Amino acid sequence: MLAKKFLLVATFLFTSTAATPYHNSYYSENVAPLVSSESAQIIPDSYIIVFKKHVDEVKVKYHHSCVNDYVSEEKRDLSKRGLLDDFISGIKHTFDFDNFQGYSGRFSKEVLDKIRRSDEVAYVEKDQMVYATELQKNAPWGLARISHRSRLTFGTFNKYLYNENGGDGVTVYIIDTGVNINHEDFEGRAVWGITVPQGDEDIDGNGHGTHVAGTVAGKSFGVSKRSKIVAIKVLRSNGSGTMSDVIKGVEYAAQFHLNEKEKARKERRVFKGSGANMSLGGGKSRTLDDAVNGAVSVGLNFAVAAGNDNRDACDYSPAAAENAITVGASTIEDERAWFSNYGKCVDVFGPGKDIRSAWIGSPRATNTISGTSMASPHVAGLIAYLLSLEPDSSSEFYSTLLTPKELKNKILNLATKDKLSKIPSDTKNLLIYNNYDG
Measured distance CA(295)–CA(52) in Å, rounded: 17
| CA quadruple 206, 209, 211, 217: dihedral sign | negative
From 37, 297, 373, 388, the catalytic residue: 373
Measured distance CA(65)–CA(94) in Å, rounded: 13
Measured distance CA(275)–CA(175) in Å, rounded: 11
Measured distance CA(326)–CA(346) in Å, rounded: 5
DSSP assignment of 415-434 equals: SEES--BS--TTS--EE---
Contact 342, 268 (CB under 8 A): no
From 148, 208, 257, 378, the catalytic residue: 208
Measured distance CA(197)–CA(186) in Å, rounded: 24
Any idea what the Cα angle at residue 215 is, between residues 354 and 405, rounded to 5°? Answer: 115
The verdict on whether 208 is a catalytic residue reads yes
What are the phi and psi torsion angles at 190 (to 5°)? -105, 135
Measured distance CA(305)–CA(175) in Å, rounded: 12
Measured distance CA(420)–CA(149) in Å, rounded: 12
Measured distance CA(139)–CA(432) in Å, rounded: 18
Query: Angle at which helices 286-297 and 243-266 pack, to 10 degrees?
Result: 0
Query: Angle at which helices 208-217 and 372-389 pack, to 10 degrees?
Result: 30
Beta bridge partners of 240: 131
Q: Tell me whether strands 301-305 and 190-195 are parallel, antiparallel or unpaired.
A: unpaired
Length of the chain: 438
Beta bridge partners of 102: 8, 95
The verdict on whether 347 is a catalytic residue reads no
DSSP assignment of 49-93 equals: EEEPTT--HHHHHHHHHHHHHHHHHHHHHHHHTT---TT--EEEE
From 45, 98, 176, 200, the catalytic residue: 176
> Which amino acids are annotated catalytic?
176, 208, 373
